[in-house]
Structure 1
């Protein structure tokens, strides 16, 4: 595992897993949210996101967490390992509420500078619909991968066991 892509719903724990894996494997971690969101929750242009990812994937090792379906194929083409945190909707909704409380009036370390944690209806709906609308597309993309190790975890305990056995 040298080029690792982590995807899943908001609140699943992608960034936390990325950080833990990065520390264990001594691989640099890149959070797409930190690249995409500029101060004050201003998004960057798609082309800038593509360029940032091109720069990262040319490195020898990386862990990239985040979905961003419009640029997912860029990462898929170069990843040797994909981890899909495909948790229940309730688990992910719990995760985003917990995160909102934990980072109240603060910016998370995995998000762009000066983007204080927020929880708006649009994001709650995105998480609520993820397993119906986004997960099938991710599964379809993963099923097309031939030379990539794919891990799909449906429960946090599976992820913990995986992490415990990584060396």
Structure 2
């Protein structure tokens, strides 16, 4: 999205995790999020539901990737294999790719445990924000094609 739109992208995982997978303190994280959303334009990639309300208040558009659990688990395993022994481009240096059962369980149970609350928030926000929910890889590809076409028409 950043390449297509020219809008700066921040991967929240890269901002949150310090080298060695050390988490940022809640106070520092809150300050970081406030700094990130103080810019005129931004794209934030990531979850971090504790700060969703603060981010949503400043956002004009929220895109929620609502993929089936099997796809998300498949993709984290694939990502683990692809970046074995390396730091992914969307993480801070010193966070070597890893995968543990706790994370697999979190991803697998996300749709049942976290998704309902997120959907409630998105429904409430839809009165004042543009909410886009993409539920399949095909929908994501179609959306990206639309954004690319719009971007090409504006240049």
Shorter-chain-normalised TM-score: which range?
A: over 0.9
Rg larger in 1 or in 2? 2
How far apart, in 1, do the equivalents of 2:32 and 2:136 lie?
31
Q: What is the CA RMSD across the aligned residues, in angstroms?
A: 0.7
Work out whether 1:97 is the aligned partner of 2:77: yes
TM-score by length of 1: 0.86
Work out whether 1:159 is the aligned partner of 2:140: yes
Of the structure 1 ranges 46-55 and 91-100, higher mean CA displacement relative to structure 2 is found in: 46-55
Aligned to 1:65: 45
Shift of 1:49: 1.1
Aligned to 2:100: 120
Work out whether 1:150 is the aligned partner of 2:131: yes
Q: How many residues align?
A: 147
How far apart, in 1, do the equivalents of 2:117 and 2:90 lie?
25
Structure 1 unmatched ranges of 5 or more:
1-20
Runs of 4+ in 1 over 2 A off after TM superposition: none
